[in-house]
């Protein structure tokens, strides 16, 4: 039984940020608005805007600094704008009708230019949490989201780690993801009693640092 479901990405992120051991794994994240867009772009080379409630990589927008302008990627289309006002105009044209988060963008390790992240799925079975899956997800060529429903490809975790980051110890990174997952389970279960299933999306950057990109209570 899946147990309690909690759709809001913001509530789960806020809960995890309260823990000093877990917080360093979370990219800088704020509620989206014009002011937070400006402040986040002042601090980060790349940001990602995503719906607070949403699945499957739908509605996710990436913004990258490009010289004096910005590159805006939505679905398979990328446009260049020269000014912040032009950027806001493009975002308004996309029609952000829901509530969104804005998050520090992570340059994910890749395989042949295709970004890669990891889904770790855990379920509560007879009162104990158990790991059910730990898989790499390779983005469909031309996309920056890795979701399987968007054409992503599943890979064994260790194989994905070795292909994308041959200089790191794959076993150590898998163990670190497991350890962080256990810490997060304790935090989330304490804050949101009744949850019975969680899916953690992890990304590794090009230096091998692990980041928590998202947590789902309805993981696919």
Q: Could you read off the pLDDT of 1-29 as tens digits, one per residue? A: 445 557 688 899 999 999 999 999 999 99
Confidence at 45, pLDDT banded by 50, 70, 90: very high
- Say which residues have a Cβ less than 8 Å from residue 17's Cβ, sequence separation at least 6: 23, 26, 29
CATH class of 9-25+107-216: alpha beta
Residue 94's pLDDT is what?
Answer: 82
**What is the average per-residue pLDDT within 62-73?**
92
Residue 176, token pair as written in the block: 């670190």
Q: What pLDDT score does 1 carry? A: 40
pLDDT in tens, 143-180: 887 767 666 889 999 999 999 999 999 999 999 999 99
Per-domain boundaries in the chain: 9-25+107-216, 29-104
Strand (E) positions, the chain? 29-31, 46-51, 61-66, 69-74, 77-81, 100-104, 110-111, 114-125, 128-138, 153-156, 197-204, 210-216
**Distance of CA 211 to CAs 26, 34, 93, 126, 128, Å?**
6, 25, 31, 30, 25
The confidence band for 76, taking pLDDT boundaries of 50, 70 and 90, is confident
Question: Whole-angstrom Cα distance, residue 111 to residue 196?
Answer: 33
User: In the chain, what is the straight-line distance between the N-terminal and C-terminal CA atoms, in Å?
Assistant: 14
Q: pLDDT tier at 216 (50, 70, 90 boundaries)? A: confident
- Residue 129 CA, chain-centre distance (Å), reads 22
User: Taking the alpha carbons of 182, 187, 189, 192 in that order, is the dihedral positive or negative?
Assistant: negative
- Residues 73-80: what's their mean pLDDT? 88
């Amino acid at each position: 039984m899946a147990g309690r479901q909690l759709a809001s990405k913001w509530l789960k992120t806020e809960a995890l940020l309260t823990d000093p051991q877990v917080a360093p794994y979370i990219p800088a994240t704020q509620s989206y608005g014009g002011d937070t867009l400006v402040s986040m772009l002042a601090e980060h080379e790349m940001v990602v805007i995503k719906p607070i409630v949403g699945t499957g990589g739908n509605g996710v927008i990436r913004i990258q600094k490009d010289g004096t302008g910005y590159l805006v990627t939505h679905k398979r289309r990328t446009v260049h704008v020269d000014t912040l006002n032009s950027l806001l105009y493009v975002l308004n044209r996309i029609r952000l009708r829901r509530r969104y988060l804005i998050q520090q963008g992570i340059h994910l390790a890749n395989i042949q230019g295709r970004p890669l992240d990891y889904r770790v799925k855990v379920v509560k079975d007879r009162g104990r949490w158990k790991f059910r899956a730990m898989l790499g997800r390779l983005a469909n060529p031309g996309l920056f989201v890795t979701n399987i429903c968007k054409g992503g490809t599943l890979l064994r975790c260790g194989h994905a780690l070795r292909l994308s980051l041959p200089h790191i110890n794959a076993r150590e990174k898998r163990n670190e993801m497991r350890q962080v997952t256990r810490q997060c389970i304790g935090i989330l279960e304490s804050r949101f009693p009744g949850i019975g299933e969680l899916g953690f999306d992890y990304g590794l950057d090009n230096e091998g640092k692990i980041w928590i990109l998202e947590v789902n209570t309805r993981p696919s």
